[in-house]
Amino acid sequence: MERPAWAPRSIDISVPSVARIYDYYLGGSHNFEVDRQAARRAMDFMPGLPKIMQANRAFMRRAVRYAAAEGITQFLDIGSGIPTFGNVHEVARSASPGAHVVYVDHDPVAVAHSQAVLEGNDHADVIAADLLKPQEILSSPQLTRLIDLNRPVALLLVAILHFVEDTDDPYGAVAELRDALAPGSLLILTHASYEGIPLPAERSEGTVGVYKDIRNPLIMRSRDEIARFFEGYDMVEPGLVPMPHWRPDTAPEDEDPYAFSGFAGVGRTA
């Protein structure tokens, strides 16, 4: 297999990556045949997967604009993936020109590509780190250079927590991050769920099986289980809802049925 110039030497390009599969669903070019094969297998069961990803991105952009309108100028995006058009730093800077953005991912391709995209950008940076090690993120030089934890921060956990198994204590990691944030900070979150998917559960389980096969289990949680991530936050209206229902720009009834798969919400620390 030919290694493209943008792929770091250190990565195994024969193994699919969640970040590159997501990039493929969004129509990006930073993915390999092995990623495309896994994505197509998942879409055999759930053809609307790209629509779900697009709904995630659209919610993220609305939530970032909301945060900027609330006066927040600092954004921490964990599990940021491969930067595609309309990413957090572009949305945040267009809404608030002085905004600072720090991306975090543990996928080497996502980090390398983010570094290339952000080269020469004094207002944004990327950290190679894991959501499950909050202290590594919070004490990193990239974060301390760009983000003042004594002022409100918008923490983005968009389409990442469903890749963390309960045995790895995602609730503990999210609580640790919350406790590091100043009052008035926001948690911007989306999460996959069987609720809302316009398919019988056994078909959806086929997609979950594909992710299990590539050693990136997809953990479908109920609405109540997802709501637990917001402990210690006051929910911003309209609460934890299907993505198209969160402060929509266009009529939700015009959305593809797949866009209603899973949940999105924003919470504010007291």
Residue-level pLDDT at 114: 92
Residue 92 CA to residue 69 CA, distance in Å, equals: 10
Q: How far apart (Å, rounded) are the C-alpha atoms in residues 7 and 247?
A: 37
Q: Say which CATH number the domain at 59 has.
A: 3.40.50.150
Please state the domain count of the chain: 1
- pLDDT at site 11: 77
- Residue 183 in any domain: the answer is yes
Determine, yes or no, domain membership for 166.
yes
Cα angle 127-85-51, degrees, rounded to a multiple of 5: 105
Strands (E), 10-99: 74-78
Residue type, 188: I
Q: Domain range holding 70? A: 49-201+221-269
Ranges of the chain with pLDDT below 70: 1
- Residue 215 inside a domain? The answer is no
Find out whether the peptide bond into 238 is cis, omega within 30 degrees of 0. Answer: yes
**Run of H or E including 112:** helix 108-118
Is 241 a domain residue?
yes
- pLDDT score for 263: 98
The tens digit of pLDDT for each residue in 208-230 reads: 999 999 989 999 999 999 999 99
Rounded Cα distance, 208 and 165, in Å: 13
CB 39 within 8 A of CB 21: yes
Q: What is the DSSP letter of 148?
A: -
Task: Say if residues 103 and 90 touch (Cβ distance below 8 Å).
Answer: no
pLDDT at site 168: 97
Q: Classify residue 254 as exposed, middle or buried by CB count within 10 Å of its CB (0-12, 13-18, 19+).
A: exposed
Residue 15 falls inside a structural domain:
no
Query: Is residue 132 assigned to a domain?
Result: yes
Residue 237 is predicted with a pLDDT of: 98
